Amino acid sequence: MSNATEMTLEQREATIGGIGCARRRKEDVRFIQGKGNYVDDVKLPGQVFGDFVRSPHAHARIKSIDTTKAKAVPGVLAVLTAADLKPLNLHWMPTLAGDTQAVLADAKVHFQNQEVAFVIGTDRYAVSDGIQAVEVDYEDLPALVDPKQALAKDAPVLREDVAAKDNVGQGPRKHPNHIFNWDVGDKGATDTAFSSAAVTVKEEIFYQRVHPCPLEPCGCVASMDKIKGELTLYGTFQAPHVIRTVVSLISGLAEHKIRVISPDIGGGFGNKVGAYPGYVCSVVASIVLGRPVKWVESRIDNLSTTSFARDYHMTGELAANKDGRITGLRVYVLADHGAFNAHAQPTKWPAGLFSIVTGSYDIPAAHVTVDGVYTNKAPGGVAYRCSFRVTEASYLIERMIDVLAQKVGVDKAEIRARNFVKAEQFPYKSCLGWDYDSGDYHTALDKVLKAVDYKELRKEQAEKRKRGELMGIGIATFTEIVGAGPSRNCDILGIGMFDSCEIRVHPTGSAIARLGTKSQGQGHETTYAQIIATELGIPSDDITVEEGDTDTAPYGLGTYGSRSTPVAGAAAAQAARKIRAKAQKIAAHMLEVAEGDLEWEIDRFKVKGLPEKSATMKQIAFAAYQSVPEGLEPGLEAVNYYDPPNFTYPFGAYLCVVDVDRRTGEVKVRRFYALDDCGTRINPMIIEGQVHGGLTEAFAIAMGQELIFDSNGNIQGASLMDYFLPTAVETPVWETDYTVTPSPHHPIGAKGVGESPNVGGVSAFTNAVVDAFAHLGVTHMPMPHTPWRVWKQCEALGIGE
């Protein structure tokens, strides 16, 4: 039983490959050989294909749909319309935000490319021909595209289906195109702060509509086994269990008869959380035809109909003293939700976690009001690494503090330092009600300023300005809120936002873990194994991690909002600790000592004072199946459902340097320095990869992405011809850095990091571009900072020639 320690402590740690180790990823092996298993790779016997007839109009009545010619196209098997779904009550489905959404347009279409009919055929080529042959007669209606017109007296009523309701799931509403009004904070205290302030600033800040555009579009394969009465549904689902519950609720199929499988997913970024009409139609078609039905959307479908992101028209105001110390924050948001309120978010928060808008700053009074409205656009809003509207909130406050800095003539780094929540104030309760777990903002910012030699950069900028050259320095010191969330205030469709991990250790010492989250590239097969490896002393190479199959994985709320590490990661640690507690009992039994005589070291229990008497986890594992102490069951496994006591609050300090060509409006990113604090760092290599990817998305958003609509509701730029996805040539080189401020309430102190770079990055870029013009009196420039917009600013200042 005792072992001579053949390996040193360092060697044993290295063998474990646990927390902190930049170990290579376990999932890579299949991807680099083209052996990933994505939804479109799934091929079931007898499988057929389905796809949509989509409306060319943004707002129209459907007068008739003639499917005769389509059904006659060789290879076409069936065509579904709303009329076919009506008897099943599936032509509409509930959204995750309390509204209803059309599965197939019933009498009316509400946005361009909305689904009108579902054509099923033997292969995608036949289906495509069938789609061409469906004849739809539309009566065009005036489109409502400007959210500012949505609440006008004479605005066209979009949602006739709910026009009579005074509540569409998020509280009382005041107009047929109004969805909700949300109010948080202390209006009285805020008004007082403003009326007594030495300085106030106000700015209109629009965060444009963009789209997460993962490289793999959405899709599914639905397979109904009519004999067993069981449905198997493969799909691009970031939250497979939620999909299972939703499908059960809307189809009437009992949940134990539904198996949802998320195989490998080619990027999610919030695009693949909700249920889309394609999923529902595939399920219905499979039930009707008794065959597996595959639906995979095109890129244009993806960009124009699945969950968009942002589209927040914000008005920000700060009250401050003349030194730039903020005394009050006021925000009004007009939120354009599109035609259905369909985004995924905790039900109590119609504007997500927007009230994190006080950011890293100690603001004594704040008041936020949000009005959500319908327009003739695709539904969505919460997506694209946003942490539930945190991207919008962080953008607002980071822009406003720069606006304030310019007004009071205080340096933009200095004003932040003056307003930061101080390290000794943690845990900190914000005036909008959030309990920040930990942070050290001053240290983070100081580290960045030192690394880039900030003083030199400002000197260089001053010299360049004398020569008429435009150079900008953008700072973003963000705090964001992730890890949704405590079930007392976080639920989706009533289900608390806990998460789970189940671990089973095998007799020969390796293990399998299953969790309720679902990676779409974040490296969970590696990082969860690392957490468990450190807790259990089993090499991470010997721990299989599985997610995505609802038949085997414990219930979880999925992966989005950077919640995997804070919630499921905690569950993994807790489940492992349960196992280790049992292992300690078994070890005591094996070594014939009392439990209290043992201490844990990397991969084994040692007897205190007798180090040569030890039992490795590997030995204990076998013993668990061989002979356990009286009163214990054989085996070595545990499950934990973790209901987090709080969110986590990762933070960071980013600094961006840009040079602007005033004659063409081109913005060149000269340098980008990103410091992130995500608490305990599980795998530094993976963290760095997440930061690179998130910053690249932020760069794309700030510099070129937008989905716009003409006055008829025609969407512009919804293909990769126009939608700006940077290549390796445009993408800047990222410099990454970190500090570590663990979360005091998390079992391993980890906070999550995936969305931080998108949250902080966009602000850093915009702040840099505006800073380039700040000396000329410019306080804000709307995104995206395409060359023409930037040039228009130059021209307005008379420096564009």
Residue 412 burial (C-beta neighbours within 10 Å; 0-12, 13-18, 19+): buried
Round to whole Å and give the CA distance between 124 and 120. Answer: 9
Toward another protein, which CB reaches closer, 198 or 720?
Answer: 720
Residues 201-230 that bind another protein (CB under 8 A): 213-217
Q: Which is nearer to another protein, 193 or 515 (CB)?
A: 515
Residue 74 corresponds to which tokens in the numbers above? 């060789």
Give me the sign of the Cα torsion angle 395, 401, 407, 409: negative
Judged by CB under 8 A, how many residues of this single chain contact another protein?
Answer: 82
Taking CB under 8 A as the criterion, the residue among 171, 266, 496, 635 binding another protein is 266
Segment lying near another protein (by CB under 8 A), choices 282-290, 315-323, 440-448, 712-720: 712-720
DSSP 420-444: BPPGGG-SEE-TTS-EE----HHHH
Which range, of 35-43, 95-103, 307-315, 506-514, touches another protein by CB under 8 A? Answer: 35-43
What is the distance between the alpha carbons of residues 237 and 262, in angstroms, rounded to a whole number? 6
Nearer to another protein, 215 or 227 (CB): 215
731 is a contact residue toward another protein (CB under 8 A): yes
Tell me the closest approach of the beta carbon of residue 798 to another protein, in angstroms: 14
Residue carrying the six token digits 């902080």: 760
Q: Render 53-77 in DSSP notation, one character per residue.
A: EE-S-SSEEEEEEE-HHHHHSTTEE
- Closer residue to another protein (CB): 417 or 685: 685
Which residue among 43, 228, 466, 467 contacts another protein (CB under 8 A)?
43
520 catalytically annotated: no
Under the binding rule (CB under 8 A), the answer on residue 720 touching another protein is yes
Task: List the interface residues with another protein, window 236-265 (CB under 8 A).
Answer: 264-265
Q: Using the CB atoms, write b or e for 565-597: b if 16+ within 10 Å.
A: bbbbbbbbbbbbebbbebbbbbbbbbbebeeeb
The residue among 19 and 247 lying less far from another protein, judged by its C-beta, is 19
Q: Are 763 and 493 in contact (CB under 8 A)?
A: no
With contacts defined by CB under 8 A, name the span among 126-134, 311-319, 481-489, 620-628 that binds another protein: 126-134
Binding of another protein by 322 (CB under 8 A): no
Strand 258-261 and strand 230-235: the pairing is parallel
How far is it, in rounded angstroms, from Cα 544 to Cα 748? 20
Q: Does 775 bind another protein (CB under 8 A)?
A: no
Residue 728 binds to another protein (criterion: CB under 8 A) = yes
Please give the single-letter amino acid code of residue 457: L
**Does 702 help bind another protein (rule: CB under 8 A)?**
no
What stretch of H or E contains 369?
Answer: strand 366-373
Residues 642-701 that bind another protein (CB under 8 A): 663-666, 685-686, 688-690, 692-697
CA–CA separation, 536 vs 686, rounded Å? 22
Site string for another protein, 155-194 (x = CB under 8 A): ----------------------------------------
Token output for 438: 């930990």
Active site residue 678: no
Residue 19 or 365: the one with the smaller Cβ distance to another protein is: 19
Residues 503-562 that bind another protein (CB under 8 A): 520-523
Tell me: does residue 28 bind another protein (CB under 8 A).
yes
Q: Which residues contact 650 (CB under 8 A, 6 or more apart)?
A: 479, 480, 482, 562, 676, 677, 678, 679, 751, 752, 753, 756
Is 496 a binding residue for another protein by CB under 8 A? The answer is: no
Residue 391 interacts with another protein (CB under 8 A)? no
25 is catalytic: no
Asked if 610 and 473 count as a contact pair (C-beta separation under 8 A), the reply is no
Q: Is 45 an interacting residue with respect to another protein (CB under 8 A)? A: no
Query: Does the active-site annotation cover 325?
Result: no
Q: Does 710 bind another protein (CB under 8 A)?
A: no
Q: Interface with another protein includes 11 (CB under 8 A)? A: no
Does 40 interact with another protein (rule: CB under 8 A)? yes
Which residue's CB is nearer to another protein, number 175 or number 789?
789
The angle at the Cα of 389, spanning 387 to 394, to the nearest 5 degrees, equals 90
Q: Hey, is 34 helix, strand or coil?
A: coil
Q: Which residues are catalytic?
A: 238, 385-386, 755
